[in-house]
Amino acid sequence: MHDESRRIEERVQRLHDQRIKSAIYAATVPFEVEAWQAPGEPVPFEEAAAASYAPFAMGTPWGPPWGTTWFRMRGQVPEAWAGKRVEAVIDLGFVGDWPGNQAEALVHLTDGTPLKAVNPLNQYVAIANPATGGETVEYLVEAASNPDILADNFSKTTPLGDILTAGDKPLYTFRSADIAILDEEVWHLDLDVQVLRELMLELGEHDPRRHEIAHALDRAMDLLDLDDVSGSAPAVREALKPVLSKPAHASAHTVSGVGHAHIDSAWLWPIRETKRKTSRTFSNVTSLADEYDDFIFACSQAQQYEWVRDNYPKVWARIQESVKNGQWAPVGGMWVESDGNLPGGEAVARQFIHGKRFFMEHFGIETKGVWLPDSFGYNAAYPQIAKLAGNEWFLTQKISWNQTNRFPHHTFWWEGIDGTRIFTHFPPVDTYNARFSGEEMSRAVRNYQEKGGASRSLAPFGWGDGGGGPTREIMERARRLADLEGSAKVIVEHPDEFFAKAREEYPDAPVWVGELYLELHRATYTSQARTKQGNRRSEHLLREAELWATTAALHAPGYSYPHEKLDRLWKTVLLHQFHDILPGSSIAWVHREAEAEYARVARELQALTAEALAALGSGTTRVFNTSPYDRAEVVHTADGAPVYVEVPASGSAPLVDAEPPQPVTVSGRVLDNGLVRVEVAEDGTLSSVRDLRANREVLADPGNLLRLHTDLPNYWDAWDIDKHYKNRYTDLLDASSVTVVEQDPLVGAIRVERDFGKGSKITQTITVRAGSPRIDIETDIDWHETEKILKAAFPVDIRAPHSSAEIQFGHIQRPTHTNTSWEAARFEVSGHRWVHIGEPGYGVAVINDSTYGHDVSRTVREDGGTTTTVRLSLVRAPRIPDPEADQGRHRFTYALLPGATIEDAVAEGYALNLPLRVADAAGAPAPVVSTEGEGVTVEAVKLADDASGDVVVRLYESRGGRARGVLRTGFPLAGAQITDLLERPLEEAPVDGDGAVPVELRPFQILTLRLRRS
């Protein structure tokens, strides 16, 4: 037989694209359209319905950036269309085919009922099936003219990312708004041909099935009457039935399809637009559920449900009905799909607490899995946190984006830092926006790493990132692929069902230990530094407010614990931990609003803490320590005078001078407190840091070396830092001044000022205080660079085989060598409050109050010694998607801690992030709780969420070893329970004869205790 493959493939493609698709709608009549441009921000339906509309013609430009135009559409179904399937078809002037980053609209009935959204891939709204003929149709359509930030494929900067800079030129030209007949036979033919053609092209040249499909399509096309596509469509479909009905091989891979609509809570649009995106997408989804009984939709992010509940009650009611019918599956159990690296441990716990409680309260459903497809890597504490929140499985897709190494598993057990394991799956289809194309199905089978051990994978299907969700075309593809020779089999099912089957099939799945590090998007640890600082400070202010509110609730008659205010503030912080807000990868508008929200949160939390302390009475100036460690350090009074104080963990003490071990001396550019001696060079670097306790020099080369690197990644400016950034740099060695600014027995400080680059300035104050080996570097940057990254380096004379970086509820060790490609790929990593390096008998920590990104490397010197260098990533200057990212003022502190153990690093990390607070208080209430035992660290103290008055304490083992100790209370204790994160009892905790709770923890174990008061 002659090979006619090319002719057939080209013929089928042209007939499909040019003739079949164009015949899907058999006839149309136009709507009569009027328009009203809403001024400013979006308005409620009632206001739009009462507005004055003007005639609007097709082909007219509309829609300024971020604007809202309401269209009133009126029309009548022709009498002759009785018995037909009739739809409204609306084209707002869509650009490209991505639903989420351009014009989109929500169609309402005139009584305000939302019907369905329209977007490039979902332009229809059902009118009647069948029509009686003569129906009057009237809609109010809320159209959002969101700009296409992705235009030019992120290759150019754009002012469109903020309403303040976007201008008012219309972005779109309205193409059409019609009432139309859907020719169902042609529509089904279109899908038959698509599925077969795509399958054919994925099969091998020597696969008989490929040629069988090709010749069947060729013969079917002979039956297509180009002058009457509609009339000939049934015959063409009949000719294709034999190849569409051949069953899949018995050993074919099974793809469990789960409807999904990934909606970024903010990204290339502001939060206010996400609220509308949820209504549009969820309207589409509930509409599709009405059409397809076998449709199942998985949806995460409790925050988005709450937005719909509060703003679109009719859509909310439809969601509730779909949940009852089993077609809508709440998943994920988190308040938002947060970043996987940057939120603190308690914040990740609260993501699950608030998310799972929302689903339980409103749907009576406890979610079983973590649905987190798009975050930029996942910390190694996740398995334990997830299991303590009642989860059984974990799903993500993002690791398939790895730049260097291919992850070796798709189904596996993920083991966290404490030993907890959770059953995990990475969909081999490598997308959370699947549409069941032939290429996707082939990719899923080809990629699947578990062949021979397991035979099923999951595919989230539906258009996403900016929402949109599944379409009827995707559902039809799934039906055709349910059992089709040459393809994987598709079954639409709940993700819980998939995970149950996968675990039963593959109980001995392999184990991956430690973090799921994404070898991409490493700059998200640093971009938009003020957003990250706002998050860090909010987390610690929340901790502080909860502790002192609990103290006041126990000891101050008449004080009422602010449950509702704390709940609201936590939810605000959790929202801004979304995986495009906190990582710094959103448009300018998002980060401008985030900074304002963090400032508001800080004011409210400061006020709550002040109210709690005021409730304790007044008359004595006291120092309050929120840290879980005893403190002996210098604090400043209201008039700025330094005082050396000793304050117990989670407690308070009078503001009374204590005797420091040794005063600070300042001689020239040398600071000495008897523990460390710091020499500042003329160029402003640290020329020497000598640990006087260990009698050793800490630095191998000048420390606090500021290095300005050129930073232009290959792609994704705000997201990525590529390895070549290291090759071009300037060391900032020209100090304009080096000045002693504080010289006191308790404090010595030297200020270094530098001007550099494009008008940037950095002022650093290097401070040594009595009684502490910690060397603080308070930093004030006026930053005006572009496409640069600023790093601060500490080259330490230590041979460290690995670095340890704090993560949620513990720390993770990473090799300092690059023996393998996996280690080399970790050239930029994340950590929280500290990074520690050490050799037997000696260690050094670098502490910070708002920095996450860093790198650690080592070299061997000519003298045979080893230099291990820790470098903090301080600030970047990407230009896409926010052309002004990070410009302006930054203030933060980082510190060098010589002679530090891991426990020292933990304690000083808390101390730097939880500064001592000076306030008036009458009495000296005992700390709510105190602990004895090394490594037993309290992370949260609060009243129980059920308003019972019980005290809830969350603690963990922080050193990485076993810990034994006791927890004592500052109130009469009636009993104690060990609970899960949602404060539900797991077992009774023993209480000894002294009223203390014995505690025994494995390495990095998290323990939540519920303490009943007498």
Q: Which residues are catalytic?
A: 374
Residue 670 in tokens: 């040398």
Q: Spell out a b/e string for 737-766, using b for 16 or more CB atoms within 10 Å of the CB, else e.
A: ebebebeeebbbbbbbbbebbeebebbbbb
**Structural tokens at position 809:** 């509820």
* DSSP string covering 912-969: HHS--EEEEESS-PPPSEEEESTTEEEEEEEE-TTSS--EEEEEEE-SSS-EEEEEEE
State the angle between helix axes of 184-202 and 5-14 in degrees (0 to 180), rounded to the nearest 10.
150
Interatomic CA distance for residues 201 and 220, integer angstroms: 17
Region class of 771: left (phi > 0), else alpha (psi between -120 and 50), else beta: left
Stretch (H or E) spanning 35: strand 32-38
Instruction: Check if the beta carbon of residue 468 is closer than 8 Å to that of residue 121.
Output: yes
- 855 and 861 in contact (C-beta within 8 Å)? no
Other Cβ atoms closer than 10 A to 500: 16
Give the integer Cα–Cα distance in Å for 162 and 881: 10
Place of tokens 């949806």: 299
Contact 706, 735 (CB under 8 A): no
CA distances from residue 691 to 695, 794, 817, 849 in whole angstroms, order as listed:
6, 15, 26, 23
Q: Element (H or E) spanning 8, and its range?
A: helix 5-14
Extended beta strands in 669-796, E state = 670-672, 676-680, 686-691, 696-697, 705-710, 729-731, 735-743, 747-756, 760-769, 775-783, 788-796
Identify the H or E element spanning 305: helix 302-311
Residues 365, 797: contact at Cβ < 8 Å? no
**What residues pair up with 546 in beta bridges, in sequence order?**
none
Q: Got the DSSP string for 406-420?
A: --S-SEEEEE-TTS-
The DSSP symbol for 210 reads H
Q: Which H or E element spans position 257?
A: strand 254-259
Phi/psi-derived region of residue 935, left when phi > 0, alpha when psi is between -120 and 50, beta in every other case: left
Joined together, the tokens standing for residue 369 give 């899995």
Task: List, in sequence order, every residue forming a beta bridge with 937; answer none if it has no partner.
Answer: 956
Among the listed residues 976, 975, 964, 947, the one whose alpha carbon sits nearest the alpha carbon of residue 1000: 964
- The residues with which 872 forms a beta bridge, in sequence order, are 792, 854
502-to-396, 410, 498 alpha-carbon distances in Å: 15, 11, 6
Please report how many Cα atoms fall inside a 13 Å half-sphere around the Cα of residue 909, on the Cβ side. 32
Residue with the two structure tokens 């996968």? 502
Provide the CA 713 distance to its chain's centre, in angstroms: 21
- Cis peptide bond N-terminal to 30, omega within 30: no
For 101, the token pair is 């980053």
First vs last Cα of the chain: how many Å apart? Answer: 91
The one-letter amino acid code at 448 reads Y
